[in-house]
Chains A and B, each alone.
Chain A
Amino acid sequence: GESVGLHLPTLSVQEGDNSIINCAYSNSASDYFIWYKQESGKGPQFIIDIRSNMDKRQGQRVTVLLNKTVKHLSLQIAATQPGDSAVYFCAESKGNSGYALNFGKGTSLLVTP
């Protein structure tokens, strides 16, 4: 029979609201974290990154928060727009490896009008 695929957590928000996407990482030695956005049929696209010596970084409409104590990362999107609908992945650097990335499973964000 057909294999069961990975069920992505889904976050549904209304246009104009703020979105918060969460991610837990496992490697306490990771020193670099990135958020990627992937639209259907496309490759992942860089959104924002943060190093472990920071706990917050802001970009255009996006903010990443890093809590190293509980190994938690979040992405905040302000005034969410329909074009923000996509799958969002957090990724951590894989040790001293040229920043080869270890990706999380992803969260699907659906923005409704």
Chain B
Amino acid sequence: DAGVIQSPRHEVTEMGQEVTLRCKPISGHDYLFWYRQTMMRGLELLIYFNNNVPIDDSGMPEDRFSAKMPNASFSTLKIQPSEPRDSAVYFCASRSIQYNEQFFGPGTRLTVL
């Protein structure tokens, strides 16, 4: 398996623009997680899905952030409109219900100018 795949790896955009981050979890995994990592706040959970259904989105910063999982092999995290304080590395992770380990993708480094 190729592991968790995220795209793009780097994104530079201007304030006010819409940003869409993409994630392909490991095939067969039941859970998908979105995290954000910054120097100030460390690694924070934004939202997670179980069998494509959002379970807990309490970590989503505000209404500008939204996440979807239309099927078991694809998820998106959208920021609209983006702001400079959204600059961070965004990680997607997935895990199987059979095991506890979460497998992380390589991350998307987002820079909002």
Binding site for B on A (CB under 8 A): 3, 5-6, 32, 34, 36, 41-46, 49, 89, 94, 97-106
Contact = CB atoms under 8 A, between A and B. Distances in A.
Given A5-B39, A97-B55, A104-B42, A43 B106 contact: yes
Interface in B26-50: 31, 33, 35, 38-45, 48, 50
15 contacts: A5-B40, A6-B40, A34-B100, A42-B106, A43-B4, A43-B93, A43-B105, A44-B43, A89-B43, A97-B56, A98-B55, A99-B102, A100-B33, A100-B45, A101-B45
Nearest to A6: B39
Interface of B: 4, 31, 33, 35, 38-45, 48, 50, 55-56, 91, 93, 95, 100-107
Q: Which of A5, A46, A102 has the most CB of B within 10 A?
A: A46
A8 to B, nearest CB: 9
Contacts of B55: 97-98, 100
Contacts of B42: 6, 89, 103-106
Given A97-B56, A98-B55, A103 B101 contact: no
Contact of B48 (A3, A32, A41, A97): A97
B101 A49 contact: yes
Main secondary structure, interface of A, reads: loop
Contacts of B102: 34, 46, 99, 101
A58 B50 CA distance: 30
Given A34-B100, A46-B103, A49-B101, A99 B43 contact: no
Contact of A102 (B45, B100, B101, B107): B45
A99 B40 contact: no
A17 B85 CA distance: 41
A24 B55 CA distance: 27
Nearest to B55: A98
Contact of B43 (A42, A94, A103): A103
Contact of B101 (A34, A104, A105): A34
Contacts of B104: 36, 43-45
B95 to A, nearest CB: 7
